[in-house]
Every structure is written in structure tokens, then in C-alpha cells.
Structure 1
Amino acid sequence: MDNPSKIVENGITYSLGDFDGTTMHYDFYRILEYLEVKGKLLYGEEFKIFKIDRPLIRKLCAYTINDSKAAKRYGISLQKGVLLNGPVGCGKTSLMKLLRYIIPGKPTYEMIPSRNVVFSFNHLGFKTVEEYGDSGSYCFDDLGLEPYGRFYGKDANVMGEVLLSRYELYRTTRGRLKTHITTNLNATELEERYGNRVRSRMRELFNLITFDQNSQDKRFYLK
């Protein structure tokens, strides 16, 4: 049986915890070490994880590894997706990309820039809403920064339509197919952008996890 506690990167084995043959016992500080190593491989040697972000990363790791006890302690539902909110440059996108690597072999979500969904809609119309709304697990990146869509002269709030479809998917699959989001917008701004109907469903769809407003701008470290 493969040992899920071990991950090999460039010939070096990293341990994320201990595996007793049936159950994986994760260690947060070992996960943190691996995330920094993987971050350097993906984003360059300047990448680093800041101490101020550790409480948030701890919550996200508990969610990712499906730790029900920790999730309950943090008030997180393992059935819902994650809405990761924070200021520009705080590292939302890079963190959501990294978290996909800590469980080897587990099916994971695909990172999709929200603007790409709109660009697809402009060419293909509502087929795009069906594609992203009715199947798969996705993290829609930079929600709220995408333009409005336009197809055959008709304007559409494309991501709003996708989120409504994802809500129905959440209900029918009981959270098996996850929806995640990164955004700079707060709750009021999201409601202004997508309307009260979408906002109310987002409360059911997502665990809101927010970066500290004093979190450092990390764009220098993600070149």
C-alpha cells in the first residue's frame, strides 16, 4: 500500500505526518514545511509562508485533509466549499493552488480564472454556464474582477449564473462536487455585483475564510 504521508519532490521525500496502515495522522508543521518547499518549486526561491498567515493556513489545511474535529473547532463545514477573501496580493491564488498537492492521488479542484469563464461565454454562450455549473470541482479565481459577458448582443452576469448553477449542484450532490472561490470583494460588494439571490446562496455554498487585513503584499515573492 502506498504511504500517503510521504511526498517526493526532486528526489527528496517529505513527510506530512504518520500513517499507521489504515489512518493518516497529519502534522501541521510538516505540512507547512512541505507547502513552502512546493511553493518555491512553483513560484521561485523567493516564495515564503508568513507567520501572520499561519492561523488561516491551519484552517485551510484542516479543511483540505478532511479533519472533522478541527473543522468543528474552526466552525468549518466539510460539505461546503471555501470562499477565500483578502486584500490584493495577499496570496489567495497561490495558496489555493498549493493546497491541492498535500493529498497525493486525491481528485482535486481545477483552478479557473473567473475572467476565462466570461471569455468562454462570449464565444459559446450558455453552454459555458452548463460546462462550469453542472459538473466538476472548481476554484474560481478573482471573482468580481471579471467583466460582464455578452453573447449575440445580450449581456449576462456570467459568474452569477454559474454560481446559481453550482448551488443546485451542491444540493443534488450533497457537497460531493466542491466549489471554491478567491476574491478581493467583501460581502456587501459581492451582493452589489451579483445580487441578493446569489449572495444568499453563497452563504450556503461556502465557508468564509479571510486573510488578516494586515497580511503582507506577497507579489514580490510570487514572481
Structure 2
Amino acid sequence: MDNPCKIVEGGIEYSLGNYDGSYVQYDFSKILIYLNCKGKLLFGKRFKIYKEDKVILLKLCSYFTRDEINCKKYGLDINKGILLSGPVGCGKTSLMKLLRHVVPQQRPYEMIPSRNVSFSFNHLGYKTIEDYGNTKFFCFDDLGVEPPGRFYGKDLNVMGEVLLSRYELYLDTKHRIKTHATTNLNAEELESRYGNRVRSRMRELFNLIAFDETAKDKRK
């Protein structure tokens, strides 16, 4: 069997830990070296890992590498998805695009801008809810700032309906379908946007990992 903690990028082999043939012991410092390299390949030479983000990254890496000891320490449920929240420009989308690559042997998730889901509903109607309420793994980017959906004169909180569909899938123990999301909104704003019922389901769907509200805008 191939070593799951060795990844080749641009002809260079990165070791993310030790593999004894049945179990991987990941090394966070080695994962950071790999993420810094992969980030530059994906987002350009200006990409870098910020010192102040290392606690967030440790939580995310613990989750994606299924490190049960650290996940328990951080209150993370490996069976739930991730809701990564924080101010505009703090790097949420980049990190969720990046972390997929740490565990290439795991089932990947597709990054979908939430606004695209609303736009799709405006063109295709309720088929959109079915399309995103399926057994694929998704990460819905910028949850909560998408425009409302409107199809043949009927308004719909599209992402709210998609999340309810994803929740029903999550309860299906045969699949344990993962849903991830990023958002600029806090808990009160999400509840105001989607209502109490959806907010309640989100608590069961997601582990919340939050940047500090003073996190700087890295795009400036």
C-alpha cells in the first residue's frame, strides 16, 4: 500500500508524518511546511501561513487527519462537517481549498459559492435543491450573504432549504454525508438569515471553528 502521509508536489516529496503500515502519526510542523508549499502553488507566491492562524490550522488539521485525541481536546466531532467563520479576507476560503490536499486518500469535497446555488435556483428552480441535497461532499463558501432565490414569482431561502436537505442526508447513517461551509456571519446573524429551525440543524451538522473577530484582512 502507498504511504498515505507522503505527497509529491512539483517533483518534491513531502512527508507529513510517520506510517507504520497500518497507522499514520501526523506531524503538525511537517503539515505546515507542506501547506505553505501547496498554498503557493494554488494561490501564488504571496501566500503564506500566518503565525496567528496556527491554532485554527491545528484544529482543522486535527479534524481532517482524524486525530481523535486532539479533536476531543478541541471539542470536534469527526462525523460532523466544519463551519469556518471569521471576518472578510481572513483566509477562510483559501484554507478550506487547501486542507483538502492534506488527506488525498479521503473523499474530497467540492467548493461551491453559496451565491451560485441561489443563481442556479433562479434558473432551474427546485431541481437545484435536489442537486445540492445529494450524496456528494460540498463546502458552501460565503454562507449567509447569497441573494434570496426567486423562481416563477416565488421567493425561497435557497441555502436554508439546501442545509435542511443536507441535514436529512446526515441523519442517514448509511452515508454520514459531510457538509462544510465558510461564513462571515456570527451565530445571531445566521439565525436571523435562516431562522431558528435551520440554525438548530446547523449545530448538528457542523463543528464551529472561528477566527477571532479582529483577524486582519490578508487581501490588503
Instruction: Identify the TM-score tier after normalising by the shorter chain.
Output: over 0.9
| 2:60 is equivalent to residue 43 of structure 1 | no
2:26 alignment counterpart:
26
Aligned match of 1:166: 166
Deviation at 1:3, TM superposition (A): 1.0
In 2, the alpha carbon distance for the partners of 1:173 and 1:134 equals 14
1:175 and 1:135 map into 2 onto residues whose CA distance is: 8
Partner SS for 1:135: coil
**2:159 match: secondary structure:** helix
Q: Residues 16 and 27 of structure 1 are in contact (CA less than 8 Å); yes or no, is this contact kept in structure 2?
A: yes
1:178 has 2:178 as partner? yes
CA distance in 2 between counterparts of 1:51 and 1:212 reads 13
Q: Deviations over 1:27-83 (max 9, x none)?
A: 001001111100000111110111111001100100001111111111110111111
- In 1, the alpha carbon distance for the partners of 2:191 and 2:42 equals 34
Aligned ranges 1:1-223 → 2 under 5 Å: 1-173=1-173, 176-220=176-220
Paired residues of 1:87 and 1:213 also in contact (CA < 8 A): yes
Cα distance in 2 between the residues matched to 1:195 and 1:134: 23
For structure 2, list consecutive stretches of 5 or more residues without a partner in the other structure: none
Q: Distance in 1 between matches of 2:173 and 2:218?
A: 36
For the 8 Å contact 1:133–1:165, the answer to whether it is kept is yes
Q: Secondary structure at the match of 2:197?
A: helix
Which residue identity is paired with 1:35?
Answer: L
Deviation (angstroms), 1:174: 6.5
Contact conserved, 2:169 with 2:176, CA < 8 A, in 1? no
Q: What is the distance in 2 between the residues matched to 1:103 and 1:190?
A: 30
Question: Structure 2 length normalisation: TM-score?
Answer: 0.97
State the Cα distance separating 1:153 from its structure 2 match: 1.1
More displaced 10-residue stretch of structure 1: 207-216 or 174-183? 174-183
Counterpart-to-counterpart distance in 2, 1:97 and 1:172: 26
Partner amino acid for 1:62?
S
3-state secondary structure, aligned to 1:202? helix
Tell me the secondary structure at the aligned position of residue 103 of structure 1.
coil
User: How many angstroms apart in 2 are the aligned matches of 1:173 and 1:113?
Assistant: 27
Residue 213 of structure 1 aligns with an amino acid whose one-letter code is E
For the aligned residues, what is the CA RMSD? 1.1
Give yes or no for contact 1:80–1:175 (8 Å, CA) kept in 2.
Answer: no
Q: Give the gaps of 5 or more residues in structure 1.
A: none
Distance 2:173 2:111 in 1: 20
The two structures have a TM-score, normalised by structure 1, of 0.96
Aligned length in residues:
220
Distance 1:72 1:174, change over 3 A: farther
Aligned with 1:218: secondary structure? coil
* Residues 191 and 175 (structure 1), Cα distance of their counterparts in 2 relative to 1, 3 Å cut: farther
Contact 2:179 2:205 survives alignment (8 Å) = yes
CA contact (8 A) 1:142 1:184 kept: yes
